[in-house]
Amino acid sequence: MSEDKAVTSEDKGVDVPAQRSAGHGAPAGDTASREVLLKVTGLQKHFPIKKGLLQRNAGAVKAVDGIDFEVRSGETLGVVGESGCGKSTMGRLITRLLEPTAGKIEFEGKDITHLGVGGMRPMRRDMQMIFQDPYSSLNPRHTIGTIVGAPFKLQGVTPDGGVKKEVQRLLEVVGLNPEHYNRYPHEFSGGQRQRIGIARALALNPKLVVADEPVSALDVSIQAQVVNLLDDLQSELGLTYVIIAHDLSVVRHVSDRIAVMYLGKIVELADRESLYKAPMHPYTKALLSAVPIPDPKRRSAKSERILLKGDVPSPISPPSGCRFHTRCWKATEVCKTQEPPLAALKTGHQVACHHPENAPDQVPGETVTAAAREAIEIVEVRKPSADEPEAAEPAADGTASTDTPEDNPKE
Ligand SMILES: Nc1ncnc2c1ncn2[C@@H]1O[C@H](COP(=O)(O)OP(=O)(O)OP(=O)(O)O)[C@@H](O)[C@H]1O
């Protein structure tokens, strides 16, 4: 998230005092050299399906089915994929809101995979979650002061100067008026409510923040403001993020690395630049083809969108071999039978594909199946005319965002 950040908190008049002590939150730069904060190995979550009066086991929803990744201190890992591919389950597993079926989760080198409520209590301060829907995640009967101050109560912590003063400071940090301490959630707009959720997540000075679709419930014009706020807070407070989104355009400007998930698996994991410039997995290529092109020079070029036919298969009985083979236009016989491993085909770029794009074919000489030839439809995307406004997109420089009065944070 670091290097192309264009708007600072000062630019936006957001006063973000330094909160975290030195050591964490190293200055922006090469995240690869930083220490690993979170390490996930072979992580699985299978939700059992029970049937009948006797509640017999009738299979399982393989929501997360063996994933490996690391998150380094101070970096942002974006996690993308279509609805139902296991992103939220992954987020809830790593923050230990869900018990994993198998695999290992290490936080700062400590195995937290099966820690109980008591064991997790001290860790809760270090890892927080921001949820998708700011409307339902805030209790309508509680004031903002009570909501943002709740983590102190839960953890039995009294900040210097008292809870009220600290909550008011946090409200200011996220760009809200501290005098609105006694107001209720319904008195705030969607973007402001998400700021309240962010203030609550920051209360205990966490190291890792997992944001599950933090802007998808918000108006497009507000999305950029919230994304930029998260970006600023990361630089100021040295936070580490896992940001989950179904849309590659949301994580584009804020991620250092991006993991693409499909049916419970990570199919591609790469540095942001590498992924956007030369995606290797056909699924990623299809997702990217749906993202608006931000470069005005390239925008005038013809743009083709890859439409994947058919629905995402059921995670109860995912396809054999490569799970994407039923929707892939490059699928061959080997894809039906052998699951491709997630392998580094380039420095900082891993992919699980027998026939990757922008990389040597891993199983050359195979013939594309008849079904694969019918798997997609290519649609030419109409180029916007010169006088046509373009869709606002969360941009690092916030230029696509309109500061609507509705979300003017301090009003
Ligand atoms: N508690 C549960 N019990 C049974 N199945 C579940 C449960 N939670 C999630 N699932 C299933 O697991 C799969 C992955 O769901 P998940 O919410 O993690 O995906 P997602 O990628 O975050 O999608 P979305 O963006 O729609 O939330 C889905 O098929 C979902 O129906």
User: pLDDT of 106-155, one tens digit each?
Assistant: 999 999 999 998 899 888 899 999 988 777 888 999 999 999 999 999 88
Give 391 Cα–ligand 1 centroid separation in angstroms: 29
- By DSSP bridging, strand 208-212 and strand 127-130 are parallel
Instruction: Report residues whose beta carbon is within 6 angstroms of any ligand 1 atom.
Output: 47, 61, 63, 81, 83-89, 246, 315
- Does residue 297 register a pLDDT over 60? no
Are both 162 and 60 inside the same structural domain? Answer: yes
Tell me whether residue 221 is in a domain.
yes
Tell me whether residue 238 is in a domain.
yes
Q: Residue 310 burial by CB count (10 A; 0-12/13-18/19+): exposed, middle or buried? A: exposed
Arithmetic mean of pLDDT, 6-28: 37
The model's pLDDT over 202-255, given as tens digits with 9 standing for 90+, comes to 999 999 999 999 988 888 888 888 899 999 999 999 999 999 998 888 888 889
Give 289 Cα–ligand 1 centroid separation in angstroms: 25
Which pLDDT does position 68 carry in this prediction?
A: 97
Are both 132 and 245 inside the same structural domain? Answer: yes
Arithmetic mean of pLDDT, 279-304: 76
User: What is d(CA 241, CA 67) in angstroms, rounded to the nearest whole number?
Assistant: 18
Are both 250 and 314 inside the same structural domain? Answer: no
Are both 312 and 221 inside the same structural domain? Answer: no
Are both 300 and 237 inside the same structural domain? Answer: no
Helical (H) or strand (E) element with 105: strand 102-107
Question: Which residues are bridge partners to 240 per DSSP?
Answer: 208
Are both 110 and 142 inside the same structural domain? Answer: yes
Which of 43, 47, 242 to mutate for ligand 1's pocket (most ligand atoms within 8 Å of CB)? 47
Are both 122 and 158 inside the same structural domain? Answer: yes
Tell me whether residue 357 is in a domain.
yes
CB 19 within 8 A of CB 203: no
Tell me whether residue 43 is in a domain.
yes
- For ligand 1, atom 8, name the residue with the nearest CA: 89
User: What is d(CA 108, CA 187) in angstroms, rounded to the nearest whole number?
Assistant: 39
CB 82 within 8 A of CB 105: no
Tell me whether residue 272 is in a domain.
no
Helical (H) or strand (E) element with 208: strand 208-212
Give 410 Cα–ligand 1 centroid separation in angstroms: 36
Which of 43, 57, 62, 89 to mutate for ligand 1's pocket (most ligand atoms within 8 Å of CB)? 89
Give 228 Cα–ligand 1 centroid separation in angstroms: 28
CB 363 within 8 A of CB 355: yes
What percentage of residues in the chain have a pLDDT greater than 90?
62
The answer to whether ipTM exceeds 0.90 is yes
Are both 246 and 355 inside the same structural domain? Answer: no
What's 83's domain CATH number? 3.40.50.300
Nearest ligand 1 atom, CA 81: 21
User: Please, what is the end-to-end C-alpha distance for the chain in angstroms?
Assistant: 29
Q: In the chain, how many domains are there?
A: 2
User: What is d(CA 244, CA 251) in angstroms, rounded to the nearest whole number?
Assistant: 8
Nearest ligand 1 atom, CA 88: 22
Give 327 Cα–ligand 1 centroid separation in angstroms: 20
CB 170 within 8 A of CB 203: yes
Tell me whether residue 394 is in a domain.
no
Contacts of 217 by beta carbon, 8 Å cutoff, 6+ apart: 132, 133, 134, 135, 190, 194
Which pLDDT does position 299 carry in this prediction?
A: 53
What percentage of residues in the chain have a pLDDT greater than 70?
82
Give 210 Cα–ligand 1 centroid separation in angstroms: 17
Helical (H) or strand (E) element with 261: strand 257-262
User: What is d(CA 252, CA 5) in angstroms, rounded to the nearest whole number?
Assistant: 12
Are both 220 and 307 inside the same structural domain? Answer: no
Are both 112 and 225 inside the same structural domain? Answer: yes
Which of 46, 65, 80, 87 to mutate for ligand 1's pocket (most ligand atoms within 8 Å of CB)? 87
- State the alpha helices, DSSP H only, in 86-219: 87-94, 117-124, 144-155, 163-173, 190-202
User: What is d(CA 53, CA 30) in angstroms, rounded to the nearest whole number?
Assistant: 56
User: What is d(CA 239, CA 252) in angstroms, rounded to the nearest whole number?
Assistant: 18
Q: Among 112, 107, 123, 27, which Cα is nearest to 75's?
A: 27
Are both 258 and 296 inside the same structural domain? Answer: no
Q: Which domain holds residue 210?
A: 32-262
Give 47 Cα–ligand 1 centroid separation in angstroms: 9
Given pLDDT bands bounded at 50, 70 and 90, which one contains residue 21? very low
Contacts of 167 by beta carbon, 8 Å cutoff, 6+ apart: 144, 145, 148, 149, 181, 199, 203
In the three-class reduction of DSSP (H, G, I as helix; E, B as strand; rest coil), residue 276 is classed as helix
- For ligand 1, atom 10, name the residue with the nearest CA: 63
Q: Residue 55 burial by CB count (10 A; 0-12/13-18/19+): exposed, middle or buried? A: exposed
Tell me whether residue 408 is in a domain.
no
Give 173 Cα–ligand 1 centroid separation in angstroms: 33
In the three-class reduction of DSSP (H, G, I as helix; E, B as strand; rest coil), residue 216 is classed as coil
Are both 258 and 288 inside the same structural domain? Answer: no
Q: What is the model's pTM?
A: 0.85
Which pLDDT does position 278 carry in this prediction?
A: 96
Tell me whether residue 105 is in a domain.
yes
